[in-house]
Structure 1
Amino acid sequence: MKLHSVTLHHIRMTLKTPFANSLETVSDRELIIVEVRDFEGHIGFGEGVAFTSPWYTEETLKTSWHMLKDFMIPALKEQVLSHPSDVEYLLKGIRRNPMAKYAIEGAIWDLYAKRERISLAEALGGTASRIKAGVAVGASESETMLNEISKRIEEGYERIKVKIKPSQDLSLIKAIRETYPSIDLMADANSAYTLNDIERLKALDQYSLLMIEQPLAADDIVDHALLQKELATPICLDESIASYDDARRALNLNSCRIINIKPGRVGGLSVSKKIHDLCADQSIPVWCGGMLESGIGRAHNIALSSLPNFTIPGDVSASSRYWERDIILPEVTVENGSITVPDGYGIGFEINRQELERVTLTKETV
């Protein structure tokens, strides 16, 4: 493969309902859509999932655009690629910036699969034809969250994730469990706690949670190991796992019993697959987290989630959960609690060019 051109689309999509956690409330989601074209006319699409402010990681949409345009695209444009995994090696001289790396690498994975006339799931080694769907419920008043959980259960979602923080945790989880005693329920803390909160976190053990996600600092592995020793509930690491080596170290320290794999957070689908394989070898289950993606990023998550060790339903919800209209055709749907893994070439969805143009703020072709 040799890239003929790369087009960056800066888009803005309005969420149907603002999404809140302990750190931020997102109403409008801005994203970078990366469109790569080879000399034979094949086109691949990827998505940059950095937010406009550095609340989740240090990356922002503007820094990702800069890194893509000024460093990553020039580094790849003159290369002949034999496989998408080459991208990781070719960009290794650029430190961090995993979301920008994922944006271009994901587009090249889609391009590669289309050239090979196979699905992205098959290209990655996926085996599932359907994946179980989970859903995240943003932070709000308890009654509002209970009403939304009821709606999501009616829609067929098999795992519910709720946002917690010290001012909204025990009473919230108790209320949910009293209303829904048997649902698969997990709590996402987004680093809202410290080791001083051990007793408070231990009190959550009584509610049979599937996991507590990222209770401590976003860059921590050591303190999570201390906390996991005190908890019966499995800890799941999210922000702490920014690379394959982070995952390896966390497992060596017993810092968690579950890992959330977000390809944008770890730097691409190739790294995601390596982390998946590492966890599978150590019998550590994984699941695919969401970043409020458009349908393009969602399609990549579906393909990744078809790998065999993604045994926990991920945050791979229906398009209609977030958007009045998505930028792919057909839109992602959930049926009986699961999503069909497309078997068409590449990501398996067509791009709704009219909608993509409508939500595009600016674009630039290199």
Structure 2
Amino acid sequence: MKIELRRAELFDVRLTFRQPMHTAISTLAERQTTILRLTDQEGRIGYGEGVAFDTPWYTAETQASLRALSPLLYRLLSAQPLSAPADVTERFRSIQGNQMAKAMFDGAVYELFAQAQEQSLASYLGGDEKTAIPCGKALGRSSAVAMVEAVGQALADGFGRIKLKLAPTDTHILEHVRAAFPQAPLMFDANGSFQSADLPVLQTWDTFSLVMMEQLFPANDWLRHQQAASLLKTPLCLDESIQTTQDAALMQTLQAGHIVNIKPARLGGLTTALEVRQMSPYWLGGMFESGIGRRQTLAFATLPGLAYPIDMAGTDQYFVEDLLEHDYVVENGSIRYQEHPVSLERLHRLSQSRLIL
């Protein structure tokens, strides 16, 4: 079976958060995202999402760079028929970096192949779409009082892991939360905001019985992650640092981390994500994406092997309006994958522009 691409459209979409999301280094009130719609020779449609941020605070990519590269990526894909989704990775091998732009096309092609086989994406990947996927809750940076309240609500809702977005100056927040919930499964995400001078802070936080510490230092700072991993008892998780299978191998070689937060978009797509899941204990994170990107991550989450609950609150919790006909909803701390269709009315109404490649 071969897929021949006939048409590619890009939609520049803006989604409004129900509440601003605060990380250690950024605040998001609105989510600009790019939606790709690919059509093949049989009229089948596959969607992908370009989840880079407006500015390069998370990785070097931005929404502008992603859209600028898309015509070239489409030309590389459409030049010849595709025999398998892995062909996407091979066709893009000459393009350095730009993982989120690549992943946008990768996800859409996976959807086309799944449809051609008359399967859901979860089944096509080899997952069990009937499984209940355990969820964790990511909480944006806030005051100690607000954080304690949010953690209490997350625990009451059944979330199996609570992630706090914290900066090096937030020891008092962690102290308040741990005092209020001595047994809660807490972790924190630094989004690369720590420096060498903050190692004493980390050694203090090492006493708070955390599930893990995520992305302490900037993505390319392997030596400081290695140093921290040798000093701390708490397992280290790498996120931004892992953009290729080679990065996952380097983490193990240097002993710079113990766990990988897999985000298919950060890895260039599902093909690479499938390779990385074989290399290290892992869980899945979110990118504040729309339901289109989340649908693909949830399909991946139905595969066996998750070491920790995924970072996936329901889509009803993030945006005032999302792009699917139905929301994904967390019930009793878990979520189920379903092939919720894209709402064409919302996609067109929430788009600032549409570009045919």
Please confirm whether the aligned pair reaches a TM-score higher than 0.5, indicating the same fold.
yes
Match of 2:205 in 1: 204
Amino acid at match of 1:84: P
Does the alignment pair 1:229 with 2:230? yes
Q: Which residue, out of 345, 350, 353, partners 1:359?
A: 350
Amino acid at match of 2:250: R
Match of 1:104 in 2: 105
Deviates more, 1:213-222 or 1:122-131: 122-131
Cα distance in 2 for partners of 1:253, 1:309 equals 23
Q: Which residue, out of 278, 298, 305, partners 2:301?
A: 305
SS at match of 1:351: coil
Cα distance in 1 for partners of 2:182, 2:304 equals 28
Q: Which residue, out of 18, 30, 35, partners 1:33?
A: 35
8 A contact 2:166–2:189 mirrored in 1? yes
**CA apart distance, 1:153:** 2.4
Amino acid at match of 2:167: K
Does the alignment pair 1:291 with 2:287? yes
Cα distance in 2 for partners of 1:290, 1:333 equals 15
Amino acid at match of 1:255: A
Cα distance in 2 for partners of 1:67, 1:238 equals 24
Match of 1:350 in 2: 341
**CA apart distance, 1:307:** 1.9
Cα distance in 1 for partners of 2:83, 2:63 equals 29
Deviations 1:274-312 (A, max 9, x none): 000122xxxxx2011111010001111101112222221
8 A contact 1:2–1:81 mirrored in 2? yes
**CA apart distance, 1:191:** 1.2
Does the alignment pair 1:271 with 2:262? no
**CA apart distance, 1:196:** 2.4
SS at match of 1:265: coil
**CA apart distance, 1:4:** 0.8
8 A contact 1:242–1:265 mirrored in 2? yes
Cα distance in 2 for partners of 1:307, 1:219 equals 29
Distance 1:339 1:127, change over 3 A: same
Does the alignment pair 1:336 with 2:337? no
Match of 1:119 in 2: 120
Cα distance in 1 for partners of 2:184, 2:292 equals 29
Deviates more, 1:196-205 or 1:259-268: 196-205
Cα distance in 1 for partners of 2:314, 2:158 equals 11
Does the alignment pair 1:153 with 2:155? yes
SS at match of 2:119: coil
Match of 2:184 in 1: 183
Cα distance in 2 for partners of 1:355, 1:204 equals 44
**Structure 1 runs not aligned, ≥5 long:** 280-284, 343-347
Match of 1:244 in 2: 245
Amino acid at match of 1:66: A
8 A contact 1:195–1:227 mirrored in 2? no
Cα distance in 2 for partners of 1:106, 1:341 equals 16
The sequence identity of aligned pairs, in percent, is 35
Q: How many residues align?
A: 354
Does the alignment pair 1:19 with 2:21? yes
Deviations 1:3-58 (A, max 9, x none): 01011111000000001111110101000111111110111111000011111111
Cα distance in 1 for partners of 2:272, 2:106 equals 11
Structure 2 length-normalised TM: 0.96
SS at match of 1:6: strand
Deviations 1:175-234 (A, max 9, x none): 111111222111001112122222210111221101000111221222211110100000
Deviations 1:159-188 (A, max 9, x none): 1100111111x2211111111122211100
What RMSD, in angstroms, separates the aligned Cα atoms of the two structures?
Answer: 1.2
Deviations 1:59-113 (A, max 9, x none): 10010001112x1001111221111111000010111000000001101111111
8 A contact 2:163–2:188 mirrored in 1? yes
Structure 1 length-normalised TM: 0.94
Cα distance in 2 for partners of 1:150, 1:326 equals 26
Cα distance in 2 for partners of 1:81, 1:270 equals 14
**CA apart distance, 1:330:** 1.9
Amino acid at match of 1:195: S
Match of 1:67 in 2: 69
Match of 2:49 in 1: 47
Amino acid at match of 1:266: L
Cα distance in 2 for partners of 1:114, 1:135 equals 32
Q: Which residue, out of 6, 9, 13, partners 1:4?
A: 6
SS at match of 2:207: helix
SS at match of 2:151: helix
Cα distance in 2 for partners of 1:156, 1:319 equals 17
Match of 1:345 in 2: none
Deviates more, 1:309-318 or 1:88-97: 309-318
